[in-house]
């Protein structure tokens, strides 16, 4: 019933500004949850839903008032004049980490980003190019992501003698796996599921990460690193 009343109020507001036959849809696309919102009448019963309406019996009326104002602003093209309202509190600086921080370690004789398993010299369209690197906890990169991606697949362009990025960790055809080991050791596996649209040529896979280092009696530091695979070829799909 609350949703019905809200829709009807918004429709009426649009209609009052000459915008007839508007279809109003309530959809929580921003993933915000404000608990139950009962009608004033439902609130009086004080069942579970009423007790969970956290702003009291007039919660729905307050929402309707706000949404009518929004509808009016849209109808009159005055959205820019709306007040932003108070800024929500920012509690990030008060968060106390409860999970112990693990210092990353590379195997003896290795460093972060080293290639443990290179790609094969050649792959065809439809196959999966895979490279395994000496890795570090991806959580270290949450606030330190220099390249804004954990991986890139790059193609060599002979005309410019440079490597051009063709996809990253946001691309559908890539996969990034982090394999946690013991005592801070870990590996990172990067896969490229070579699509039908891949152009023939020379490719390589790169990995970007951050490792946590801590010396005795010193605060931990986060260091960036990167690794690059040997080049491999994707031949013309018509060649056998």
Residues contributing to the annotated binding site for Zn(2+) = 36
d(CA 236, CA 122): 11
Spatial contact of 152 and 131, defined as CB atoms under 8 Å apart: no
d(CA 15, CA 8): 10
d(CA 8, CA 157): 59
Spatial contact of 133 and 187, defined as CB atoms under 8 Å apart: yes
Q: Hey, what's the torsion of the CAs at 229, 235, 236, 237, to 10 degrees?
A: -90
Quick one: which H or E segment has residue 208?
A: strand 201-213
Token pair belonging to 225: 């690193």
Token pair belonging to 132: 């395994």
Helices (H), 58-171: 59-75
d(CA 194, CA 173): 7
d(CA 202, CA 235): 8
Residues annotated within a binding site = 36
Q: What is the largest CA-CA distance in the chain?
A: 77
d(CA 79, CA 72): 9
């Amino acid at each position: 019933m609350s949703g019905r009343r809200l829709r009807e109020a918004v429709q009426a507001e649009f209609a009052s500004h000459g915008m007839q036959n508007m279809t109003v849809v309530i959809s929580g696309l921003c993933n915000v949850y404000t608990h139950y919102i009962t009608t004033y009448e439902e609130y009086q019963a004080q069942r579970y839903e009423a007790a969970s309406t956290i702003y009291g019996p007039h919660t729905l009326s307050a929402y309707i008032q706000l949404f009518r104002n929004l509808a009016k602003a849209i109808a009159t093209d005055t959205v820019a004049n709306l007040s932003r309202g108070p800024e929500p509190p920012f509690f990030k600086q008060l968060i106390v980490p409860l999970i112990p921080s693990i210092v990353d370690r590379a195997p003896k004789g290795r460093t972060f980003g080293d290639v443990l398993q290179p790609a094969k010299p050649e792959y065809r369209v439809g196959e999966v190019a895979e490279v395994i690197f000496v890795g570090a906890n991806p959580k270290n990169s949450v606030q330190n992501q220099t390249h804004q991606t954990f991986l890139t697949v790059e193609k060599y362009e002979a005309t410019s003698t440079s490597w051009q990025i063709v996809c990253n960790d946001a691309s559908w055809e890539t996969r990034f796996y982090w394999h946690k080991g013991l005592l801070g050791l870990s590996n990172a596996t990067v896969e490229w599921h070579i699509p039908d649209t891949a152009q023939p040529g020379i490719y390589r896979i790169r990995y970007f990460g951050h490792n946590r280092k801590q010396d005795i009696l010193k605060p931990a530091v986060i260091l960036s690193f990167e690794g690059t695979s040997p080049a491999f070829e994707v031949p013309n799909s018509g060649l056998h």
